[in-house]
Every structure is written in structure tokens, then in C-alpha cells.
């Protein structure tokens, strides 16, 4: 598979450490600004063009997707928001990943079952926070690493 053929929906959860046991935010999308340090699909390393923003999308069904983008393509890590658990480090949470979504422009067009996790914390805490996602399908591995700038979204 080529990265161009993958349409991945990525949901970035805005959850403080203790929020892992609470309900997710209302359906919608938010953008987290910062620095993308790694975006890899199989053997294709798209890190160089990885955008300095990721989207966190919460669906009406409770699904959460962290969406990374590079060169007009999108890669999303999606899981059931109700499955979020506390992370290994204090203040972090882990979202079990079930689906990798891919797309181009602003449209998601493909999905593949995958298993993995996204580890995150509140990206608006006032200090940089890492959002680390990795998953594997039967054919490919997927990795995304992002460091938020700690600031609230523009306009807030």
C-alpha cells in the first residue's frame, strides 16, 4: 500500500490525566498546534512534510481520532473513546486504536483494521505535551509523534 492510498482519520483527545475515566468531549473537532516529529506508514517516512497541527475528532458514537497530515494526505488513528485508560506516566491517558483511516485534502476515503495505542495528555496545559500513536495492520505499521505547543486553540 502507498501512503497516497491511505486515508487516515486521527483523533486527538483533549483529556487531562484524570479525565481518562470521564466521558469524552461532545462530538466535534479541535486542532492542536505544535511540532510533528514523526509520521511513518510502512516504509514511507512522511515526517519531513508533516504539518505542525493535528486534529482531534470525537464522533457522535464516542469514537476518537487523532489526524496527522503531510503533503495533502491524512493519516488517522481511531479508537473507542470509552476505552481510554490511564497511561503509564502520571497525567497521561491511552486510547486503544482499532482503525487506521486515510484520506486526501479534507476527505477521508479509506480504512483498515489495526491494533495499537495513542498516548496523550491535555495539549492545552500551558506546557508542551507529547501525543504518540502507533498501530499495526496485517500489512503495515503506522507511527505518528507530535509535541503540542501547550497553548489553547486560536480564538479561545
Task: Transcribe 65-93 into DSSP letters.
Answer: EEEEEETTEEEEEEEEGGG-EE-SSTT-E
Cα–Cα distance measured from residue 70 to residue 39, given in angstroms and rounded to the nearest whole number:
8
Q: What is the pLDDT of residue 4?
A: 26
Cα–Cα distance measured from residue 76 to residue 55, given in angstroms and rounded to the nearest whole number:
9
Of 82, 77, 59, the C-alpha closest to 114 is 77
Give one DSSP letter per residue of 15-43, joined into a string. Answer: --GGGGGSPPPPSEEEEEEEEEEEEEETT
46-105 confidence digits (pLDDT tens)? 999 999 999 999 999 999 999 999 988 999 999 999 899 999 888 999 999 999 998 887
Residue that wins the pLDDT comparison between 121 and 26: 121
Q: Are 101 and 79 in contact (CB under 8 A)?
A: no
Task: Write down the pTM of the prediction.
Answer: 0.81
Instruction: Name 62's Cβ contacts closer than 8 Å, sequence gap at least 6.
Output: 24, 80, 81, 82
Q: Is 47 exposed, middle or buried (0-12, 13-18, 19+ CB in 10 A)?
A: middle
Q: What is the pLDDT of residue 2?
A: 29
Q: Are 3 and 40 in contact (CB under 8 A)?
A: no
Amino acid at each position: 500500500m502507498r501512503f497516497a492510498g491511505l486515508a487516515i482519520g486521527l483523533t486527538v483527545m483533549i483529556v487531562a490525566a484524570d479525565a481518562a475515566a470521564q466521558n469524552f468531549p461532545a462530538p466535534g473537532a479541535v486542532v492542536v498546534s505544535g511540532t510533528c516529529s514523526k509520521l511513518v506508514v510502512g516504509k514511507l517516512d512522511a515526517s519531513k512534510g508533516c504539518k505542525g497541527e493535528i486534529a482531534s475528532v470525537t464522533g457522535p458514537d464516542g469514537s476518537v481520532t487523532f489526524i496527522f497530515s503531510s503533503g495533502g494526505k491524512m493519516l488517522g488513528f481511531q479508537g473507542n473513546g470509552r476505552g481510554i485508560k490511564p497511561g503509564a506516566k502520571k497525567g497521561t491517558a491511552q486510547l486503544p486504536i482499532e482503525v487506521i483511516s486515510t484520506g486526501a485534502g479534507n476527505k477521508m476515503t479509506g480504512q483498515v483494521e489495526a491494533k495499537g495505542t495513542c498516548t496523550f495528555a491535555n495539549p492545552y496545559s500551558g506546557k508542551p505535551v507529547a501525543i504518540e500513536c502507533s498501530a499495526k495492520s496485517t500489512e503495515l505499521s503506522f507511527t505518528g509523534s507530535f509535541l503540542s505547543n501547550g497553548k489553547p486553540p486560536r480564538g479561545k
